C-alpha cells in the first residue's frame, strides 16, 4: 500500500547534494492544478522542455497534443507509421538493434501506457498532487547516481524483483518502464541518444516508483548516507 501523502524528501536531497528539481510523470484529471503549463508542438521531443521543467513549468500532453511520434505511441498507443517502416527506421537508419527480427520482438513485447485520465503531465514534483504521480525522476551526475543505486539496493532481498533496471527504450518510455508500480523499483534513464542533446553531458536520469521513492526517503543515520565512504567522497569533491 502506497502512502496517501508524499514523504519528507529534504534529508535525501541534502545528503546527495541534489540541486536539480525532481521531475514527476503524472496522470491527472485537471490541468489547472499543474500551471504554468506548456504544450508541445508537432514532433517535439518531450525532453526539449527540460529547461522549462527546471524553471517550474509542466509539460501537458493529451491524445491530440503529444509531441513526437514515439511519445504518441508510448503514451497513447497512437501508430503514426506502418510497422515495417518503423522497423526500417529504427534498425536500418538508426542502427538500434542488430536486425529487424530482434527489434520486432522488442516492439511486440512492449505495451503502451494506459492513461487513467485524458491528461498526462511531466514537470516539477508537486507534493500536494502525490496521489496522481506515477513515477519520480532524479536528474543526477555520476556521484549522485551511485548513491541512488546503493539506496535502491538498501532494503532489497536476493529473492526480490531487481531493484534497479537498465532497460532499452526511448527517453520518454524510460519515464515509466515498470510493469508494476507497486513494486519498489528504479530504472536508469536518459540513455536514449536521440534525447541526450537536451540534457547536460554529465547527467543521467534515475526514475523510481513511488514505493521505491518512499524507501529512498526513509534512509536514515544508520545508512551509508551518513558513513565514512560518503564523507570521503564529498571531501574529494570539496563538498561538505
The pLDDT tens digits along the chain (240 residues) read 455 688 999 999 999 999 999 999 999 999 999 999 999 998 999 999 999 999 999 999 999 999 998 899 899 989 888 889 999 999 999 999 999 999 999 999 988 899 999 999 999 999 999 999 999 999 999 999 999 999 999 999 999 999 999 999 999 999 999 999 999 999 999 999 999 999 999 999 999 999 999 999 999 999 999 999 999 999 999 997
Strand order in the sheet with 204-209: 37-38, 58-61, 120-124, 23-27, 133-140, 204-209, 186-189, 164-165
The structural domains of the chain, with segments of one domain joined by +, span: 10-77+115-236, 79-111
Give residue for cell 510493469: 179
Which is nearest to 17 in space by CA: 225, 228, 229, 197? 225
Instruction: Give pTM, 2 decimals.
Output: 0.94
Which is nearest to 2 in space by CA: 211, 181, 180? 211
Amino acid at each position: 500500500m502506497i502512502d496517501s501523502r508524499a514523504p519528507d524528501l529534504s534529508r535525501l536531497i541534502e545528503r546527495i547534494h541534489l540541486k536539480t528539481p525532481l521531475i514527476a510523470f503524472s496522470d491527472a484529471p485537471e490541468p489547472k492544478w499543474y500551471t504554468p503549463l506548456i504544450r508541445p508542438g508537432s514532433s517535439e521531443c518531450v525532453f526539449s522542455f527540460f529547461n522549462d521543467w527546471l524553471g517550474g513549468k509542466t509539460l501537458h500532453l493529451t491524445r491530440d497534443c503529444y509531441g513526437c511520434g514515439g511519445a504518441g505511441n508510448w503514451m497513447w498507443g497512437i501508430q503514426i507509421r506502418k510497422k515495417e517502416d518503423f522497423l526500417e527506421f529504427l534498425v536500418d537508419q538508426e542502427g538500434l538493434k542488430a536486425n529487424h527480427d530482434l527489434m520486432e520482438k522488442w516492439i511486440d513485447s512492449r505495451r503502451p501506457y494506459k492513461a487513467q485520465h485524458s491528461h498526462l503531465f511531466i514537470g516539477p514534483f508537486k507534493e500536494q498532487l502525490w496521489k496522481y504521480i506515477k513515477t519520480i525522476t532524479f536528474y543526477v551526475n555520476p556521484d549522485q547516481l551511485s548513491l541512488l543505486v546503493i539506496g535502491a539496493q538498501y532494503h532489497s532481498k536476493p529473492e526480490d524483483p531487481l531493484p534497479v533496471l537498465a532497460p532499452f527504450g526511448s527517453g520518454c518510455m524510460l519515464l515509466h518502464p515498470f510493469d508494476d508500480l507497486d513494486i519498489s523499483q528504479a530504472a536508469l534513464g536518459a540513455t536514449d541518444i536521440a534525447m541526450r542533446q537536451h540534457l547536460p553531458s554529465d547527467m543521467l536520469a534515475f526514475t523510481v516508483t513511488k514505493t521505491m521513492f518512499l524507501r529512498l526517503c526513509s534512509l536514515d543515520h544508520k545508512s551509508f548516507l551518513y558513513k565514512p565512504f560518503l564523507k570521503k567522497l564529498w571531501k574529494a569533491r570539496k563538498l561538505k
